[in-house]
Structure formats: C-alpha cells, structure tokens
C-alpha cells in the first residue's frame, strides 16, 4: 500500500496544557504528522524541549527577552529560533496543513487570525479569538473557504453530533458544564474563594486562566458566545446544563425531537485527536469512556445567583454592541488581578459587569468591524479596567 503523506502541523501555545496534549497525540501517532513550527509565551527551555521532541523546524517565543536562552537551547539541532510577538505570527504562517491555536487569552487573536487569513485550516482551542472577534473570524474563514475545527470539548462534541446537519433542522444546542470546584458551595463561600481553591478543578487539568474561568462559570459563558459564532446559532437556541460527571459534553436537539449527545471521557486528547486527523480518525491512547464505571449521569440547571459570571456573559451576548469583546478584555484583567490576590473571587464578575455597563453608558460599546478594531477595543477596555482596579473601590473588589 502507498504510504499516506503526513499532515504538517503548527502548534501555537505548544508549551501549555492543550499544546502538550497535542504534542502527545502527535508523538503517539507515528508518522501521521510532522511539526512545522511551534510557538510559546515566556519559557525558552520548555519551548526548546517540545521543538526538539517534535522535530519542528522553527520555534518562536513571544517574549523577546528569552531569545538568547532559546537560541542556546536549540544550538546544533538545526531548529531555527526566533523571539518577539512578530515571530509568533511568523510561526503561524510557516507552511503547514493545519494550525493548532492553543495560546491562552487574547494574545492568540493576531497569530491565529494570520493563520486563518493565509488559508490554513485552524484547530481552535483559543476560544478568546471568537469571543473577542467572532464575526471577523467567521467571515474570514468563509472568505478563505477554510474550516475552523473546534477543539473545545463541548464544541467538538456538538460539531460531531451536528454532523453537518442543516441549521433549520436544529431546535436547540446544549453545552454542559462540570460546575467546577464550587458547584455545591454557598454564595458566601464562593465570594471568599482563594486562587488555590479556584485552581483545584475536579475533572480537568488546564491552564490557570481557563481554570479560574471555569470555577465561576465564566468559561461556560465564553463558550456559549463561542458556540454562537462558530455554529451561527442565536443565543435563544443555546442552553447550558450542569453535568458534574463531564461525560456528555454537548447535545444537539433536532426539530423532530431527536437528541444526539456527544460523549467521551473528560480528556482533551479526544477532541484534539479528532481535529488533527479530521475528517479521518486515528488511534490514540486517550482515556476511554467506561459508562458502567461512571454509574450515573446527572444534570441540573445552572444557578445564576451563585454564578453571576454566566449571567453577565449571556447578557453580553444578547446585548451585542461589542459587549462580548468588552467582556473578554475585562475578564482577562480581572482574572489576573484575582490570581495576584488583588481582588476577591466575586469581584471578577462585578468588575466585568461594571466594564460592560460603563462602556455602554460612555457610548463606546459598538460591534468591532474587523480584528484590528476588536483588538483596539480590547486595549481600551484593559486600560479602563486597570484604572478602575487602581482606584481600589474596596466595597466592590473585596
């Protein structure tokens, strides 16, 4: 039989949680993939390690201060080293068949959009791309005739369950949420939660920002916004159910009453492998689903009182006017401040809601027409949110 050509991959965010799982899938699928380039944020040693292991030809570090260390760590390997934000875009544009977008936060918007604009198929983990600049990303994907493959487990499950069905045949889409570490906590307990407690997720091991987002259900709010743009389905047809076992990741409800569930063990290697090999399937060592072992699957309605961040995010989606972009920017600053122990847990949602309300009151809330406009809005909201943090309104923030 003729050997199949291997698929070449660029990994943006190669040193992170999704990046490392991607590397593990690639290493385990001998010969199916080659790695063209890898990019990371600030850790030159970790980036050099993954670049060597995967045999990449180009390694880009966002932090320019790490250039010397990266170059040294790659000397004699033939792997080209580069540093600075432009080099991350260069990595994204390195010739490849697919780009894994796994940078955390809005830092991923520019390089991921560059890859999409160059016509690359993008496997998208970096949901902030769509929350910040969803319409521009979807327009560009359509214009280039390329597909955005969802890596986020809920969206991947829904994508598989939809199976390219006509949107008219879909009544509703449900995203499930594990409920996070505070699912059974009282509002008072949640308000005072520490970073250590928020970072202790029951079902998933992920980077710090998404783990904090998950603890307050802000992550689910970001995901509903992501689903809205990705699938082109309005907010009213998107639902959230809390499902602590994280076995059913998404549900597609058809107009005839049929419901298709996307299921898998809670292991990101499953959706990552699905995207990397799409539309084929590969063998992986990802965790297998053992339903008898799980025993029972339970579902409950989300509690908007104890988890106001979900309400704030859904309100932003319904309001439009660029509020998803604003929410995303304010949230990144708020999560950073919480992790630095400058604000309490419940201040995250308050700060984000305040940023949305003030932007509307000041007449600056409007839909960005391009990625450039979205990133300008993002910068402006970051500055405004930092300024209101600096004013230190203690009653709101602690």
Nearer to Mg ion, 222 or 371 (CB): 222
Size of the site for Mg ion (CB under 5 A): 3
Q: Is 239 annotated as a binding residue?
A: no
268 binds, among ligand NAD, Mg ion, none (CB under 5 to 8 A by kind): ligand NAD
| SS3 state at 7 | strand
The single residue listed with the structure tokens 């894994």 is: 100
Which of the residues 12 through 71 are near ligand NAD (CB under 6 A)?
13-19, 39-41, 62
Nearer to Mg ion, 201 or 386 (CB): 201
Q: Which residue's C-beta sits nearest to ligand NAD?
A: 16
Q: Is 17 annotated as a binding residue?
A: yes
Can you tell me which of 87, 96, 126, 325 binds ligand NAD, judged by CB under 6 A? 126
Rounded to a whole number of angstroms, the minimum distance from the CB of residue 50 to ligand NAD is 9
- Numbers of helices and strands, H then E, in the chain: 18, 11
Nearer to ligand NAD, 154 or 353 (CB): 154
Which of the residues 154 through 183 are near ligand NAD (CB under 6 A)?
none
Binding mask 149-178 for Mg ion (x = CB under 5 A): ---xxx------------------------
Rounded to a whole number of angstroms, the minimum distance from the CB of residue 245 to Mg ion is 15
Binding mask 263-302 for ligand NAD (x = CB under 6 A): -----x----------------------------------
Nearer to ligand NAD, 13 or 322 (CB): 13
Burial class of residue 136 (count of CB atoms within 10 Å of its CB; 0-12, 13-18, 19+): buried
Query: Cβ contacts of residue 99 below 8 Å, gap of 6+?
Result: 9, 10, 12, 92, 112, 115, 120, 121, 122, 123
| SS3 state at 104 | coil
Q: Could you say which DSSP state residue 370 is in?
A: S
308 binds, among Mg ion, ligand NAD, none (CB under 5 to 8 A by kind): none
| Tokens read off for 303 | 């509690």
| Tokens read off for 285 | 């060592």
Rounded to a whole number of angstroms, the minimum distance from the CB of residue 72 to Mg ion is 37
Can you tell me which of 88, 133, 175, 310 binds ligand NAD, judged by CB under 6 A? 88
Rounded to a whole number of angstroms, the minimum distance from the CB of residue 38 to Mg ion is 23
Nearest residue to 396 via CA among 202, 191, 200, 194: 191
| Tokens read off for 108 | 């991923």
| DSSP E strands, the chain | 7-12, 33-40, 58-61, 80-83, 98-101, 121-124, 148-150, 170-177, 238-242, 248-254, 259-263
Q: Quote the CA–CA distance of 214 and 90 in Å, as a whole number.
A: 32
Could you tell me if 273 and 25 are in contact, meaning their C-beta atoms sit under 8 angstroms apart?
yes
Query: Cβ contacts of residue 182 below 8 Å, gap of 6+?
Result: 189, 190, 193, 197, 198, 215, 216, 306, 307
What is the binding site for Mg ion (CB under 5 A)? 152-154
Numbered residues of the known binding site for Mn(2+): 152, 154, 223
Numbered residues of the known binding site for NADPH: 15-18, 41-42, 126, 128, 207
What is the binding site for ligand NAD (CB under 6 A)? 13-19, 39-41, 62, 88, 102-104, 107, 125-128, 152, 204, 206-207, 210, 268
């Amino acid at each position: 039989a003729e050997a199949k050509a291997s698929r070449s991959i660029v990994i943006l965010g190669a040193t992170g949680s999704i990046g490392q799982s991607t590397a593990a899938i690639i290493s385990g699928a001998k010969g199916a993939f080659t790695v063209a380039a890898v990019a990371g944020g600030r850790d030159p040693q970790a980036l050099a390690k993954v670049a060597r292991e995967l045999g990449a030809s180009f390694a880009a570090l966002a932090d320019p201060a790490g250039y010397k260390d990266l170059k040294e760590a790659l000397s004699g390997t033939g792997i080209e080293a580069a540093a600075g934000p432009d080099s991350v875009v260069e990595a994204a544009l390195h010739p490849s068949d697919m780009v894994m977008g796994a940078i955390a936060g809005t830092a991923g918007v520019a390089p991921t959009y560059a890859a999409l604009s160059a016509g690359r198929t993008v496997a998208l983990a970096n949901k902030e791309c769509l929350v910040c600049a969803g319409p521009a990303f979807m327009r560009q994907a359509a214009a280039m005739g390329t597909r955005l493959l969802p890596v986020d487990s809920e969206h991947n499950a829904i994508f598989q369950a939809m199976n390219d069905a006509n949107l008219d045949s879909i009544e509703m889409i449900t995203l499930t949420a594990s409920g996070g570490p505070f699912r059974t906590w009282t509002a008072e307990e949640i308000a005072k939660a520490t970073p250590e407690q928020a970072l202790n997720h029951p079902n998933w091991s992920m980077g710090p920002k998404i783990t904090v987002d998950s603890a307050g259900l802000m992550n689910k709010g970001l995901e509903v916004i992501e689903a809205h743009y990705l699938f082109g389905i309005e907010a009213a047809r998107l639902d959230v159910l809390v499902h602590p076992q994280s076995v059913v990741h998404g549900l597609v409800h058809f107009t005839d009453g049929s419901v298709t569930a996307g299921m898998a063990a809670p292991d990101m290697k499953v959706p990552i492998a699905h995207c990397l090999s799409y539309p084929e399937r590969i063998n992986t060592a990802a965790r297998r689903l053992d339903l008898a072992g799980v025993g029972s699957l339970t579902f409950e309605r989300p509690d908007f009182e104890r988890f106001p961040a979900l309400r704030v995010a859904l309100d932003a989606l319904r309001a439009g006017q660029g509020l998803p972009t604003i929410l995303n920017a304010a949230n990144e600053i708020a999560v950073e401040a919480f992790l630095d122990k400058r604000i309490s847990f419940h201040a995250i949602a308050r700060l984000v809601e305040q940023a949305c309300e003030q932007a509307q009151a000041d007449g600056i809330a409007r839909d960005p027409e391009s990625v450039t406009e979205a990133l300008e809005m993002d910068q402006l909201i970051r500055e405004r949110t930092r300024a209101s943090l600096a004013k230190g309104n203690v009653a709101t923030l602690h």
